[in-house]
Structure 1
Amino acid sequence: MWPVVILSHDLQWRVTSLPNRPRFPGFRNRNQGTLLNTPSKMYRLHMLLLYFLPWLELAMGRNDTGHISSELFNSLEELSRIVDISYCVSTTGIQEPFQCLSHCAEFPNLELVTTWSTGILLSDSCGYIAVSHSPGPKRIIAAFRGTYSIANTIIDLSAVPQSYVPYFGDGDQREERLTANPGPSTPRCENCTVHAGFLKSWINTRSVVLPHLLEARDKHPDYEVTLVGHSLGGAVAALAGLEMRLKGWNPEVTTFGEPMVGNADFAGFLDSQFELGNYTKPTANPEARRFRRVTHIDDPVPLLPLREWGYAPHSGEVYISNPDLSPTIEDVHLCVGNEDPQCIAGSDTPSTLSNMLQDANIPLNIFNSHPDPCPESEDVLVIHPGEQDVLAKQKPANCVSRDETRALYARRWSWSLIPARYRLWELFYAHRDYFWRIGLCVPGGDPTG
């Protein structure tokens, strides 16, 4: 029998077989001699189909990326409204029992526990903790707010990475369950680095978040811990979720527009702890992932910081392929691995983003460049209009007065250098459009969304 592949009228690949005695013109029976030198047109067509099959299937988008269920779609849409409420914290506020100018009225079963806001710039963290009671899902929710400025986001994301050690202690001995000091059985993250600003933000936040979550878990032991974050808040939620996972809390983490948090070793470590990507169990339901990293077409932030800067994405991606609001269930896809070519990694956004940074004179090899050896001190740095500070490694070179213990320094680029053709406002909307237009604390959410 001769296996051949046939493209049917409905564009579906069919595998069939031909008899040992092919009836195509131009062939002889095998027992009668060799094949003639001039094969038939049908034979040539079959050979071409076999040769081009991998490329044709890729072009037709036939991989394991699939649509999601209505249950997961509804869950993600609900969580996008929950994280949108976090933008009220630093503006009009959230009041007890759970009232605000945004979507609060849509969640009558939510009870506010606390809100927080710490620091500025890269160390800024803002959000709230609430408890969801029955008849809805019984959850303890921590929502991490994102950033208001896409321009600041892109520049802020060029901060240098620093070593990541799971279960770092914070000196708080009031409760053993909060100290998180490493023990002999604690998983090690070998050669892991993470974004310095994200880690600093989580360190500044954990002393506020963990005690409230611990108290809520003690009070409601059958409630699930749910973390949700948008933009830079998604990166902080990822670090928080990883630490809680290592504590044995088994949180559910959902991020929208999360940037890359650390290097490839860190991404692999996170995948291993949440059983994502290559660490997924063969019998696992992909929709039952404990970490969902939602991305949106044209959103540049999930592609930042750049790989050239030493960063890599982790798995668990859920991709929204429709650039407009509001997406349908057919627009939302479960992705395979950490860089599915049918998801954000395969869009036009990476090349656009790279060109934009190069045109703004921001080197792709930023950590191999040679900046001013004696930069201004972070403590006395004056922020000039139209410019944004960036953290990067200090170069001792000819600088004799520099503090050798300081790991970061401020570097500055002007956003006036970015060409208008990149339409930053469109990137801004793409970064905010996750089921709803996230980021404005107004009645019912953003009216333009």
Structure 2
Amino acid sequence: MLISLWLLYLIATIVAGSPLANQYPFREQSDATTADHISNGLFASLERLSRLVDITYCVGTTGITPPFSCASRCKEFPTLDLVTTWNTGVLMSDSCGYIAIDHGTSPSGTDIEGDTVGSRNQGAIIVAFRGTYSITNTVIDLSTIPQEYVPYPSPDQGGSEPPKESKHTCKNCTVHMGFLASWRIARTVVLPALEPLHEQHPDYPIYLVGHSLGGAVAALAALELKVVSGWDNLVVTTFGEPRVGNDGFVKYLDSVFDLDGTGKQYEAQTYRRVTHVDDPVPLLPLSEWGYRSHAGELFITKSNLPPEPSDIQPCTGDEDSRCIAGSVGEPFRTVSQALVEERGRDATMWTGGLWDIPSRFKLWQLFFAHRDYFWRLGLCVPGGDPIDWGRDKYPNFTTSDEL
């Protein structure tokens, strides 16, 4: 099956010379100066959220039970209470996940993002979307049929129009049909459970997290909650998120979450799209087919586990050539010679040699780089993936720590 998929993408590179590919010429990308790496506080937040998304892989296998118990990392979050789980199955677009609520701080004195809060009662709501669990599910992920997108279901489907005063409109938007189907099915469980929680605890921030396919579903969920429901207190964090839609969709998402690079600093972004060197999924579906990456990227430059704050590069704009967009094989996204000269041998991380296989064709990395986000994600067993057994826990960084 991997060979068949590989051949499919190799054929796509040949098609890249066709008029279809030429409809998307090079777009100037500002590589404005950013910090070399993220802060200890943001690192702590991302690491904790990666453990929360890892727990989603218990849904559909050994399960998650109240108050918040599972075979994986649930015991590391003793103040969480499970609200609900869902599992639609492979035939129903393979949407899985859970909703949990945290009414207070953990014994370590940190909130869900890892910030030290002392005795302050900092509640939170977590909505976690599971990623792909097998190659079969991955095939579903990579089906590339685009579908017209509006950020709300039509009234005849039980939806409602967005507020007339909304400043965000999605013009000429298409999204991946499979991703949209996953969210439309999941929302029948997620929204009825989430709406009363938000009404009871309007001050609790809502953290949407997702890995792989779950990252794409989290993106669509976040847009509906923010634009249609009008909820502002959202923080979205995805790991290995594939491309969800076309250029119109990307502009829309960037606008909704203030990711245009001219507003909030990356530390204050409410949408964080974490990518990893050699992970093919953030480069799929292919740009030749009209799919685009959105902004908010934080790029893990280190191949092996575990990373450190110095290994995570904040990126600028939708396609920063210093980040995943600079991978070998990306059409009209190659790294300039100036960057090669600036980085010296380190630039080979992105540019590679003449015979290097492009990252987007390294499908075996679905088992490695695509899962290596702070921990090896995706196996619901005690202590997580066995590769993590015996590995020291990450330091409990806080936002007050010096780099």
> TM-score, normalised on structure 1?
0.66
SS at match of 1:74: helix
* TM-superposed deviation, 1:285: 2.6
Where does residue 214 of structure 2 map in the other structure? Answer: 233
* TM-superposed deviation, 1:152: 4.9
Give ranges in structure 2 of 5+ residues lacking alignment: 1-30, 106-110, 113-122, 332-356, 389-403
The equivalent position to 2:130 in structure 1, one of 145, 164, 167, is: 145
Q: Measured at CA, do residues 301 and 151 of structure 1 come closer, stay the same or move farther in structure 2, by a change above 3 Å? A: farther
CA contact (8 A) 1:122 1:156 kept: no
C-alpha distance after superposition, 1:314-372 (max 9, x if no partner): 00000000010000111011111111111111123648xxxxxxxxxxxxxxxxxxxxx
Q: Which amino acid aligns with 1:98?
A: F
The equivalent position to 1:127 in structure 2, one of 91, 97, 103, is: 97
Within-5 A mapping of 1:33-432:
63-64=33-34, 66-121=36-91, 123-135=93-105, 136-137=111-112, 138-150=123-135, 152-153=137-138, 156-169=141-154, 171=156, 179-186=159-166, 187-246=168-227, 247-250=229-232, 251-278=234-261, 280-281=262-263, 284-348=264-328, 350=330, 424-432=363-371
CA contact (8 A) 2:59 2:96 kept: yes
Where does residue 415 of structure 1 map in the other structure? Answer: none
Q: Which amino acid aligns with 1:144?
A: F
CA contact (8 A) 1:65 1:336 kept: no
Q: Which moved more, 1:229-238 or 1:340-349?
A: 340-349
Distance 1:155 1:120 in 2: 9
Distance 2:363 2:45 in 1: 30
Q: Measured at CA, do residues 77 and 172 of structure 1 come closer, stay the same or move farther in structure 2, by a change above 3 Å? A: same
CA contact (8 A) 2:141 2:179 kept: no
CA contact (8 A) 1:228 1:255 kept: yes
Distance 1:80 1:183 in 2: 33
Q: Measured at CA, do residues 140 and 271 of structure 1 come closer, stay the same or move farther in structure 2, by a change above 3 Å? A: same
Distance 1:149 1:77 in 2: 24
Structure whose alpha-carbon radius of gyration is higher? 1
Distance 2:242 2:91 in 1: 16
* TM-superposed deviation, 1:234: 0.3
Q: Which moved more, 1:267-276 or 1:64-73?
A: 64-73
* TM-superposed deviation, 1:428: 2.1
Q: Measured at CA, do residues 170 and 323 of structure 1 come closer, stay the same or move farther in structure 2, by a change above 3 Å? A: farther
Distance 2:140 2:161 in 1: 33
SS at match of 1:337: coil
Distance 1:126 1:154 in 2: 17
CA contact (8 A) 2:246 2:291 kept: yes
CA contact (8 A) 2:376 2:385 kept: yes
SS at match of 1:253: strand
C-alpha distance after superposition, 1:67-97 (max 9, x if no partner): 1010000000000000000000100000100
Distance 1:274 1:235 in 2: 15
> TM-score, normalised on structure 2?
0.73
CA contact (8 A) 2:278 2:362 kept: no
SS at match of 2:185: helix
* TM-superposed deviation, 1:64: 2.7
CA contact (8 A) 2:94 2:137 kept: no
Where does residue 376 of structure 1 map in the other structure? Answer: none
C-alpha distance after superposition, 1:2-34 (max 9, x if no partner): xxxxxxxxxxxxxxxxxxxxxxxxxxxxxxxxx
Aligned residues: 312
Higher strand proportion (structure 1 or 2): 1
Q: Measured at CA, do residues 92 and 349 of structure 1 come closer, stay the same or move farther in structure 2, by a change above 3 Å? A: farther
Within-5 A mapping of 1:7-26:
none
Q: Which amino acid aligns with 1:228?
A: V
* TM-superposed deviation, 1:132: 1.4
C-alpha distance after superposition, 1:400-443 (max 9, x if no partner): xxxxxxxxxxxxxxxxxx9xxx7643442110000000000010
C-alpha distance after superposition, 1:137-192 (max 9, x if no partner): 4211000000023575266423211100122246576xxxxx33234334321100
Q: Measured at CA, do residues 423 and 292 of structure 1 come closer, stay the same or move farther in structure 2, by a change above 3 Å? A: closer
> Where does structure 1 differ by over 6 angstroms across 4 or more consecutive aligned residues?
none
Tell which has more relative contact order, 1 or 2 (C-alpha 8 A, sep 6+).
2
SS at match of 1:277: coil
CA contact (8 A) 1:122 1:198 kept: no
Q: Alignment RMSD, CA only?
A: 2.2
CA contact (8 A) 2:150 2:170 kept: yes
* TM-superposed deviation, 1:255: 0.3
Q: Which moved more, 1:258-267 or 1:156-165?
A: 156-165
Q: Measured at CA, do residues 188 and 116 of structure 1 come closer, stay the same or move farther in structure 2, by a change above 3 Å? A: same
Distance 1:344 1:258 in 2: 12
Give ranges in structure 1 of 5+ residues lacking alignment: 1-60, 174-178, 352-417
Distance 2:164 2:274 in 1: 34
SS at match of 1:67: coil
SS at match of 1:73: helix
Where does residue 446 of structure 1 map in the other structure? Answer: 385
CA contact (8 A) 1:154 1:304 kept: no
C-alpha distance after superposition, 1:34-82 (max 9, x if no partner): xxxxxxxxxxxxxxxxxxxxxxxxxxx9943531010000000000000
Q: Measured at CA, do residues 114 and 122 of structure 1 come closer, stay the same or move farther in structure 2, by a change above 3 Å? A: closer
CA contact (8 A) 1:162 1:194 kept: yes
Distance 2:181 2:136 in 1: 21
Q: Measured at CA, do residues 152 and 333 of structure 1 come closer, stay the same or move farther in structure 2, by a change above 3 Å? A: same
Q: Measured at CA, do residues 113 and 231 of structure 1 come closer, stay the same or move farther in structure 2, by a change above 3 Å? A: same
Distance 1:115 1:72 in 2: 28
